[in-house]
Amino acid sequence: MEKMPKWADVVLIPLISLLLAAVLSALVILAIGEDPWAALKMMVQGALGSTYGWGYTLYYATNFIFTGLAVAVAFHARMFNIGGEGQAMLGGLGVALVCLYMPWPHWTVAVIGASVVGAAFGAAWAALPAWLQAKRGSHIVITTIMFNFIASALLNYVLVNVLRPKGSMDPATAKFPAATHLPTLHELLLPLGIKFSKAAPANVSLLIALAACVFVWLLIWRTRLGYEIRAFGHSESGAKYAGISAVKITVVAMLISGALAGLMSVNTTMGEAERLVLNATEGAGFIGIAVALMGRSHPFGVLLAAILFGFLYQGGAELALWTNIPREMIVVIQALVILFTGALDNMVRMPLEKLFLSLRRKEG
């Protein structure tokens, strides 16, 4: 017998956790002498009050959809891929190489090429930790953390010593050719007669992110591979007994996860910066953890959580601009969300389960 109705598990618990995180965040804002209500209003105004705000919110959300899906796919196989950051960095390298050294006739072709190579680079960066986990039992969390640092050193080396144009002091690649420019929402919506802010960086990669959500949903719940991944995640020994190869599932799930993280760089590197810079990922790989936890590893949940975090990011930037609340407040909120939806999940769950059980007993 289920202890709780499904809606409580899927909707009620995340909402309570989110509420707890919000209350604590409000207390922190109160403690540093600012008004939480005014701060919230400013965030809503800044992030959702104009197409400019929406453009930034959706731009950030695009990143978080990719990294959130990456973490979610690994979660389904009961693996914690903390290396989205490094995989996205390598994805950026792949995208940069493709954009700089391949002659692209039009962005439609370029975006396909860049996506494929970005995903391949991200997957490649996840491959070794996956293989080590599957074959040698090296803990994937530790190896992916290490690979984040190795990726950042590698990227640093490549940007400073190899890809940096002659005479430039900035550790970044040259600007990508104009043919690889991805249309922004402004350019996409103009033919439809919708006026969207010109300055905002949200671009066509948002559509790729939405497609990725559908792809992950199909993969996890509508394919044999997805079934095997979920079976493996529920019970490793059970899956083995059913003839599912642990090595195959571990490696394949991590490759998909890494590829999704790598895809993020199409948005940041090709869509926004149009060159590869040092800190292109800006911690989005880690936010993917919070997004996947909040979205309960379901693509639709990930989408909603990603938009929420996009809102927090853009709203937080506005706060830092107009009030004394520094940008790092977002990191605090992010930490509280991870804490309550992830680590302290049982704190909310246990009393609720008791409540539902006692309610049911009364009925019976």
Partner 1 sequence: MDYMTILQILDSTVRLAVPLLLACLAGLYSERAGIFDIGLEGKMLAAAFFSGAVAAVSGSAWLGLLAGMGASLVLSALHGLASITFRGNQLISGVAVNFLAAGMTVVVAQDWFKQGGRTPSLSGAARFEPITLPGAEALRDVPILGPLYAELISGHTSLVYIAFACVPLTWWALYRTRFGLRLRAVGENPAAVDTAGVSVVGLRYAAVAICGVLCGIAGAYLATALQAGFVKDMTAGRGYIALAALIFAKWRPWYALLATLLFGLLQAIALRYQNIDLGAITIPVQVMDALPYILTVVILAGFVGKAIPPRAGGEPYVKER
Among 37, 149, 221, 300, binds partner 1 (CB under 8 A): 149
Evaluate whether 77 touches 134 at the Cβ level (below 8 Å).
no
Q: Tell me the CA distances in angstroms from 325 to 20, 30, 56, 243, 336, one per residue in order.
A: 20, 10, 19, 55, 17
The reply to whether 139 sits near partner 1 by the rule CB under 8 A is yes
Q: Does 141 bind partner 1 (CB under 8 A)?
A: yes
List phi, psi (to 5°) of 184.
-80, 175
**Would you count residue 163 as binding partner 1 (CB under 8 A)?**
no
Considering only 150, 190, 225, 352, the residue that binds partner 1 (CB under 8 A) is 150
One-letter amino acid of 82: I
How far is Cα 68 from Cα 334, in angstroms, rounded to an integer?
Answer: 13
Q: Tell me: does residue 157 bind partner 1 (CB under 8 A).
A: yes
Select 25 or 268, whichever has its Cβ closest to partner 1: 25
Residues in the chain, overall count:
364
Of residues 28 and 246, the one with the C-beta less far from partner 1: 28
* Cα separation, 140 vs 250, whole angstroms: 10
> Taking CB under 8 A as the rule, which mask of x and - marks residues 336-355 in contact with partner 1?
x-xx--xxxxxx--x-----
The answer to whether 23 contacts partner 1 (rule: CB under 8 A) is no
User: 48 or 320: whose CB is closer to partner 1?
Assistant: 320
**CB-based contacts of 175: which residues, under 8 Å, 6+ apart?**
274, 275
Q: Are 204 and 271 in contact (CB under 8 A)?
A: yes
Distance, CA of 50 to CA of 69 (rounded, Å): 28
Minimum CB distance to partner 1 smaller for 32 or for 194: 32
**For partner 1, the closer CB: 162 or 192:** 162
Which of 311, 253, 323, 318 lies closest to 287, judged by CA?
A: 311
Q: Binding pattern to partner 1, positions 189-228, x when CB under 8 A?
A: ----------------------------------------
What is the Cα–Cα distance from 171 to 32, expressed in whole angstroms? 37
Specify the stretch interacting with partner 1 by CB under 8 A; choose among 27-35, 172-180, 246-254, 356-364.
Answer: 27-35
User: What residues make contact with partner 1 under the rule CB under 8 A?
Assistant: 28, 31-33, 80, 82, 128, 132, 136-139, 141-143, 145-147, 149-150, 153-154, 156-157, 160-161, 286, 289, 293, 324-326, 328-336, 338-339, 342-347, 350
